[in-house]
Structure 1
């Protein structure tokens, strides 16, 4: 009897480790999972404290609910793109453990998207009929709601039992994440209307991630990965500049030529330049490996025998 009572707390601790976000599947503490979990909750904790007034009454501006709604949507897009970036980063770094946090990061993106919608409902005084009417009448809201429905489908099937039950169909369904990213970026840009610098930057990162899945991408065994990473960065930057030019040329009436010229100026901080810098940064990893291999002294030949 005493032995069973002593074993029971250990069983509880084992179950807790199984559900803990900072333990791996073997129940061992994982620094990577712990860091990913901290990254996931810190923006939400900051926003919750700001809404509670912990950072002062003007931490979120004159319209705190609206600002928190904007920031949760922005973090949903950021975490979605981060989840899509984990596979290219795993191929670049050779660090297979990055796959362990992909589900956590994806569910974090869904949580912020759900909070984004929830704050919008609160902003509309919880009038659900009004919310539904706004979604039907406003294109950018309809696009954002479609992205949220896609998020719900992915979150509902992001568990081991669903993965086993769906088999190969699970992977097909979760390719919807790319469509969700497109819808989320369109929702963001249409909401911003004139100042689309931040949506354009996120679009450029998404373009880089998509380019990594093409013929110039990061499939294992292909030579010169640093050159292919730089090629992806250059193409993504060009796509960013072109997209921002077309946006202003067709939708806003702002001087699109001047905006394009600013994007082509490497001294500026326009979205295309930022995309080029961020997307090219991972090239340092294979480049560093190549430099180390060249600097390593070659082994001396063994002395010939029988002379």
Structure 2
């Protein structure tokens, strides 16, 4: 069993798919399948259950994932200590980011890493917020960016990155021209919202309950692009933060009105597990994420502001 083999195993864990992991690792799928089969044979356990949608971990696989992640971290840390932390930083870092923020952040973050830390390999995985927190708790990733960390992920160490406000969105001409709209003025217009239980849906419903307002939810989906398509087609209005939609709003393909009286907000935080030491590479990525998000807020690439409070 080698560090390379453990890293390949962890890639399959992250993706839940041998083919997707093979693409990340730049190797052929049959070759990766053989490596995983060899690992299972050498340990004399089944690590994955195969099914039509990919693979899921067995109990033995879940146990190995925790130990393998820690071994890789220790190897990266040892390598940096031997070569000098201050002179050269390299290694692999995995970050899970909620789907609506990952594509917005990725370009600027990768450009900064290519410039300052060319020997760090960063893997950004976009997923719904509940899966982001699960990936961090299962030690599948080193860092995570997600909302509501103080309540939804109390075991994590976290630093607030971005406070977003929610907007009512629709196609051009869907509402009288105005930069804001009162929550009560949304009325009974049909809405396309994330599924029940999604962090955005929970926040919207909390405000609706407090205001004594009933929502007319016509469409539900956890896919942000599907919700956007429904809104652009004029089938329903959407209620979302708008960082993901800044380009179509600027191009006039969508119209967004900030919801007021009351406002709806959520705070995104950068999280990691305090009981696991971050490698020098992961520490570098953490610092870059903090700096780049602040820069993107001030430059208008993210809709929102830096939070006033510090998370635990």
Pair in the same fold by TM > 0.5: no
Larger radius of gyration: 1
Larger helix percent: 1
Bin the TM-score by the shorter chain: under 0.3
Q: TM-score, normalised by structure 2?
A: 0.21
- Bigger relative contact order (CA 8 A; separation at least 6): 2
Q: TM-score, normalised by structure 1?
A: 0.21
